Structure 1
């Protein structure tokens, strides 16, 4: 068990540290990272999400419906609760509150979840992780992006509030990272075959997603001072403790298989994700607090993930 945890976590921290060191030592520019960001969010990650979901059979995808629904509920509850807390108690702007909520609610499934689940349950863990990523990309991310879009106020001020909301939804739902998993799930359910050449091409660019995203996260963190205040501590507690406990409470009430229940809780225990940081870069938002949330959550997850694995997969 210790070897499995180390095998999953050490590469994650190595790539994060590599990006951090590259930025701190000025080997790679850490203030202008738009190129890296576009590579991950517009090309590599969408390709990986599409291939993972579209390659699953209809029966495999149907078996993941309970996992999709439960994790969607967990992430949306955390998203809305933290957004409300950040707006009311922390007096954060709409955009800042939305990106904080996205960071805490949407786990780092590509960088941490995939190797962890793969080490624990084997190759069969790829489909649940892809489905969880699809849930976060299709349902959770658009809600956060709509608030950021509205805050950015790209729409003409003469437009009505409803028109502005619809326009923001349209922009959010047309992001490649949202469209790709939606199309992949549709292809799986409709049993649309994927051309082997196209699949191989998409897999090649998709393989870079987790590594580049983690390197980029470390690179962004290297340009910011690490903050440790009550907000960061609260965000870490919500992501690493409250999120898996919420998943545990739901699976205790909903009749699902033991295997699904274990996977749901393990996936919910994965630390905060980097989507908030990457979208913060895209929208020119301050990502210093987001970086601290991701760093603190990832460090604490060494202990919380070890506990989760020991209890769920003894």
Structure 2
């Protein structure tokens, strides 16, 4: 099993290392990655998420509702705890806290979901469906939290609106929803729900963008990291422990409360037990927000999940 995990993680480290080397060698300007960021956030990732959700039958999505409930609760609880600690205890700015929280709370479904789940439950339509639903769940129900905070602080900095978050909420929601990274999977879910099937030609046309999404995002993350210095502090330690150990235990608790068992229970716990995702770091860079702590959590959890994933695989074997 350790071999399977290392095999799944190897592409992540290799591609991030290539991006890191390209930034250090000045092959890419690691102080100005706006063009690459636009490609990843506005084209590649939205295309990948749209393709994954629009091709997922609505009946299959409905059948996965227990999985959605577990993932959503685990992510939302983690978001609330980490954001509170980041702002109130560690005195971070709301933007920095939002980036850190999204990094901690949103697991790396896109890169690790299928390899890990496929190795445990076997590859097949049900496994692919679970991963697609997980990606959609994170994109539609988690990323808007981060976008809301970033858009709110951007508006306040520009002097456009200094009201409360509640009064600004309709405008902030619209700004978040119209972002391609949210609109892509959301549109796919809506089209799936009303039974509209996309033409094969259209799906084939955007397939190359989708295939490039994860690699481009990891390369971009490596480039961003090449301009930073890794620092370990209390915030990084708490964030790493939360994403690797506590959040999966929260998912486990929800599974027990709901009385779930079998494949859906194993899937829910293992998907949450994945390492931290790269969305937070990439989002922050798009808004000009640097979060060294989020970057450190991303690196640490990606390395140490080699140890924690076998633990949760063993613990869920009897479900």
Please confirm whether the aligned pair reaches a TM-score higher than 0.5, indicating the same fold.
Answer: yes
Aligned to 1:136: 138
Q: 1:60 to 1:245 in 2, by over 3 A?
A: same
Contact 1:109 1:267 in 2 (8 A): yes
Q: Which residue of 2 aligns with 1:36?
A: 36
Say which of 262, 265, 268 aligns to 1:264. Answer: 268
C-alpha distance in 2 between matches for 1:71 and 1:161: 26
Cα offset, 1:260, TM superposition? 0.5
1:187 corresponds to which residue? 191
Match of 1:89 in 2: 89
- What are the residue-to-residue correspondences of 1:1-150 with 2, within 5 Å? 1-120=1-120, 121-124=122-125, 125-150=127-152
2:256 equivalent to 1:252: yes
Q: After alignment, is 163-172 or 72-81 more displaced?
A: 163-172
Is the alpha carbon distance of 1:285 and 1:313 closer, same or farther for their aligned partners in structure 2, counting shifts above 3 Å?
Answer: same
1:176 Cα offset (Å): 0.9
Q: CA deviation at 1:126?
A: 2.2
Residues 201-250 of structure 1, C-alpha deviations (whole Å, 9 max, x = no match): 12221011111111111111111000111111110000000110100111
Distance 1:31 1:111, change over 3 A: farther
Q: Secondary structure at the residue paired with 1:138? A: helix
Residues 194 and 155 of structure 1, relative CA distance in 2, 3 Å threshold:
farther
2:231 equivalent to 1:230: no
Name the counterpart of 1:302.
306
Separation (CA, whole Å) in 2 of partners of 1:272 and 1:126: 20
Mapped partners of 2:165, 2:62: distance in 1: 38
- Counterparts of 2:243 and 2:165 in 1: how far apart (Å)? 33
Q: Is 1:206 equivalent to 2:207 in the alignment?
A: no
Q: Which secondary structure state, in structure 1, belongs to the residue aligned with residue 260 of structure 2?
A: coil
CA offsets, 1:165-200, max 9 Å, x none?
321221112111111111111222222111000011
Total equivalences in the alignment: 314
Cα separation, partners in 2 of 1:123 and 1:30, compared to 1, 3 Å: farther
Gaps of 5+ in 2: none
2: CA distance, partners of 1:20 / 1:301: 21
Matches of 2:217 and 2:183, distance apart in 1: 19
Structure 2 counterpart of 1:217: 221
Question: Aligned-pair RMSD on alpha carbons?
Answer: 1.8
Which one is further off, 234-243 or 284-293? Answer: 284-293
Give me the whole-angstrom Cα distance separating, in 1, the residues matched to 2:4 and 2:315. 14
In structure 2, relative to structure 1, the CA distance for the partners of 1:57 and 1:165 (3 Å cut) is closer
